[in-house]
Amino acid sequence: MKAVVIHAHGGVDQLKYEDIETPKIGLGEVLINLKAVGLNHFDLDVRDGVSGYFQLAMPHILGVEGAGVIAEVGEGVTAFKVGDKAMPYLTTSCGHCAHCLAGMDNICMTFDKLGVTSWGTYAEYVKVTQHNVIPLPDGISFIDAAATQVAMATAWEMIVRRAKLVQGETVLINAAGSGVGSAAVQIAKLAGARIIVSAGADEKLERAKQLGADEGINYNTQNLAEAVMALTEERGVDVCIEMVGGGVLQESIVALAHNGRLCTCGAHAGEKVEIDMIEFFRKQITVSSTHFAPKTTNSAVLDLVAQGKLEPVIDSVYPLQEMAAAHEKLASRKFFGKIVLEV
Ligand SMILES: [Zn+2]
């Protein structure tokens, strides 16, 4: 098969489009013929060999997101058949531990990530176990499906299931130009909330307003907490959807109203953060978090995309051969929404 292969950790020059052996499936496994691949910041970490993802077996294929058609099913697979449209589940789960059986397959007790110790989605074919297949509904394109899992499902898990945002509340959504951020704006709009977005560039704030945001704050030129207070008559926001970390997380906690709820799913700008716990408990703040989303949330969100109620924001589509250019764009931060590749 054709794939984008790395033979060593490093920069974009390590991404080689070449022929490599197609994975062979065994008992309980499924082979998916990928038609589209979604990019994530995580891919850059694995490529570089940082964040604990160094010393992978080489050659290796990156990629946690994709969508396609089932090409082969192994012995013992009964829930899927050749020709079904499907996508691989990115937090690979065992299907039988206590967490998996309770529907928390996103935090399976032996979870791994697709494209880390197994080959990922930068390829014509990817092999997964039958527990890590998410069927696609009719009426969704492969490109939209490949852009749904990390962005839409995580945003839905944060807004609807964790922070429980309701009509009439005010929400602050950080990194509004990211995949999760742009999805969160659409979901908060469906929930009937007043939406304040933050980002590091004015053009990203403008795009977020086109998706339904009411106000925007540029955290490179304004103090985030002060700007939120000015927009909320010094009350603060009911909910914050956070994925930046560092100073943005600190300012976001200050920007919460009494009984405010913050939900986080990322911390690329700073993993260790100092918090004033006096202010924290005096305001009765709740912090929740999610590690991507369970398969059930993915299926719910895929249905909403197929029905046209949610629309993944696609920044650009590249052919798989141009992975290096796509990685450069992702690293530049000069994009809005998801970067997708066609296989
Ligand atoms: Zn499990």
pLDDT at 179: 87
> Ligand 1: distance of its center to the CA of 89 in Å?
13
> Ligand 1: distance of its center to the CA of 92 in Å?
8
Distances, alpha carbon 114 to alpha carbons 126, 223, 230, in Å:
9, 38, 43
Domain range list for the chain: 2-147+313-342, 151-289
pLDDT at 125: 98
Residues 343, 249: Cα–Cα separation, whole Å? 37
Strand partners for 23: none
CATH architecture assignment, domain 151-289: 3-Layer(aba) Sandwich (3.40)
Between 254 and 50, where is the model more confident? 254
Q: What's the average model confidence in pLDDT over 271-279?
A: 93
Where are the extended beta strands (E) located within 75-166? 85-88, 91-92, 112-113, 125-129, 133-135
> Ligand 1: distance of its center to the CA of 153 in Å?
19
The secondary structure of 159-191, three-state, reads HHHHCCCCCCCEEEECCCCCHHHHHHHHHHHHH
> Ligand 1: distance of its center to the CA of 73 in Å?
21
8 Å CB contact between 92 and 106: no
> Ligand 1: distance of its center to the CA of 301 in Å?
22
DSSP state of 205: H
Overall size of the chain counted in residues: 343
Residues 305, 198: Cα–Cα separation, whole Å? 25
Lowest average pLDDT, out of 22-26, 39-43, 153-157, goes to 39-43
Give per-residue pLDDT as tens, 297-319. 999 999 999 999 999 999 999 99
> Ligand 1: distance of its center to the CA of 104 in Å?
8
8 Å CB contact between 224 and 250: no
> Ligand 1: distance of its center to the CA of 202 in Å?
43
The domain defined by 2-147+313-342 carries CATH number 3.90.180.10: yes
> Ligand 1: distance of its center to the CA of 296 in Å?
15
Strand partners for 5: 16, 61
> Ligand 1: distance of its center to the CA of 158 in Å?
21
84 exposure class (CB count in 10 Å sphere: 0-12, 13-18, 19+): middle
With b for 16 or more beta-carbon neighbours within 10 A and e for fewer, the 256-270 pattern comes to: bbeebbbbbbbbbbe
Residues 69, 84: Cα–Cα separation, whole Å? 6
pLDDT at 169: 98
Residue 3 one-letter amino acid: A
Residues 140, 151: Cα–Cα separation, whole Å? 16
State both tokens at 333. 């931060």
Helix H segments across the chain? 41-48, 98-101, 142-146, 154-156, 179-191, 202-210, 224-231, 246-254, 277-282, 295-306, 323-332
> Ligand 1: distance of its center to the CA of 266 in Å?
22
pLDDT at 54: 66
Confidence category of residue 53, pLDDT binned at 50, 70, 90: low
Confidence category of residue 337, pLDDT binned at 50, 70, 90: confident
Q: What's the average model confidence in pLDDT over 108-119?
A: 92
8 Å CB contact between 182 and 211: yes
> Ligand 1: distance of its center to the CA of 34 in Å?
25
Residues 304, 113: Cα–Cα separation, whole Å? 25
**Predicted confidence (pLDDT) at residue 111 exceeds the cutoff of 90:** no
> Ligand 1: distance of its center to the CA of 84 in Å?
24
- Looking at every residue in the chain, the average pLDDT score rounds to 95
Quote the pTM value: 0.93
> Ligand 1: distance of its center to the CA of 112 in Å?
10
pLDDT at 281: 96
> Ligand 1: distance of its center to the CA of 130 in Å?
13
**Predicted confidence (pLDDT) at residue 51 exceeds the cutoff of 90:** no
> Ligand 1: distance of its center to the CA of 113 in Å?
13
> Ligand 1: distance of its center to the CA of 107 in Å?
7
8 Å CB contact between 84 and 30: no
> Ligand 1: distance of its center to the CA of 314 in Å?
32
pLDDT at 162: 97
Distance of CA 203 to the CA centre of its chain: 22
Confidence category of residue 333, pLDDT binned at 50, 70, 90: confident
**Predicted confidence (pLDDT) at residue 104 exceeds the cutoff of 70:** yes
